[in-house]
């Protein structure tokens, strides 16, 4: 039931863009995105609900396609502060399952 | 406090001992979750409490694991007869909203358990 995230890791230079994908074999109700910096608690970024929703948070946005059972997180013009591990959480009927994470490193 | 508080932040124990991990959620949050994060791994769901409803224990890996939530607030995760594979960071989160689809989760900083 665990979502599959790709890529597992990515290294960017400041200002570059990245896309993180999250997919599931189960029917989905919503998608959560969180970022966890090393040694810290995961921090909420956004929730997307059904209906092909898209959201933005600063220069981080996401889309959710419930028919394809997948979501993508878009990081534009990356900053050093974007470094961390990004987790998607997919909700089914009664639970929220997180993916294994994507480690993003932004270098100067 | 302002956030989710977990204690202890670090716990080292010997194989076979019992441990208790505590979570104090944000005041007023009805939902409380426990996740486990092993080194380099994702967040593994353990258990979910929602108000006065029966908890969802479907993620507990074995009967050595149990959790309770007293008075709808503080929660304790107990691991009996600890094994080395139990070593991980145990994260607690709380949410104001009911249901998985609407509420953001606020995570504590976790309890790092090391079983020797």
pLDDT in tens, B63-102: 999 999 988 799 999 999 999 999 999 999 998 876 555 6
Name A105's Cβ contacts closer than 8 Å, sequence gap at least 6. Answer: A9, A10, A11, A12, A83
pLDDT of residue B7: 97
Residues from chain B contacting residue A91 (CB–CB below 8 Å): 100-101
Band (A74; pLDDT cuts 50, 70, 90) = very high
Q: Does A41 touch chain B (CB under 8 A)?
A: yes
Q: Tell me the C-alpha distance between A108 and A24, whole Å.
A: 34
Is A32 an interface residue toward B (CB < 8 Å)?
A: yes
Higher pLDDT, B64 or A26: B64
CB contact under 8 A, A97 and B45: yes
Average pLDDT, whole number, for chain B?
90
Res B1: pLDDT: 54
Residue A29 pLDDT level (bands cut at 50, 70, 90): confident
Write out residues 53-92 of A within 8 Å (CB-CB) of B: 87, 89, 91-92
Give the A:B interface size as CB pairs under 8 Å. Answer: 60
Q: What is the DSSP letter of A81?
A: G
Count of beta carbons in the 10 Å neighbourhood of residue B66: 13
């Amino acid at each position: 039931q665990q979502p599959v995230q790709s890529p597992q890791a990515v290294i960017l230079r400041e200002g570059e863009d990245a896309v993180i994908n999250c997919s599931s074999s189960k029917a989905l109700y919503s998608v959560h995105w969180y970022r966890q910096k090393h040694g810290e608690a995961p921090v909420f970024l956004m929730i997307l609900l059904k209906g092909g929703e898209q959201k933005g948070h600063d220069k981080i946005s996401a889309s959710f396609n419930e028919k394809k059972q997948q979501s993508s997180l878009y990081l534009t013009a990356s900053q050093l502060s974007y470094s961390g591990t990004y987790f998607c959480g997919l909700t089914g009927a009664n639970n929220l399952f997180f993916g294994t994470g994507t480690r993003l490193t932004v270098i100067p | 406090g302002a956030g989710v508080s977990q204690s202890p932040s670090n716990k080292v124990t010997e194989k076979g001992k019992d441990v208790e991990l505590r979570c104090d959620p944000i005041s007023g949050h009805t939902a409380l979750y426990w996740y486990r994060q092993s080194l380099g791994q994702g967040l593994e769901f353990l258990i979910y409490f929602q108000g006065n409803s029966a908890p969802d224990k479907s993620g507990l890996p074995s009967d050595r694991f149990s959790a309770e939530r007293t008075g709808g607030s503080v929660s304790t995760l107990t691991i009996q007869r600890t094994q080395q594979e139990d070593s991980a960071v145990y994260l607690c989160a709380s949410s104001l909203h009911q249901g998985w689809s609407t509420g953001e989760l606020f995570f504590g900083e976790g309890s790092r358990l090391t079983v020797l």
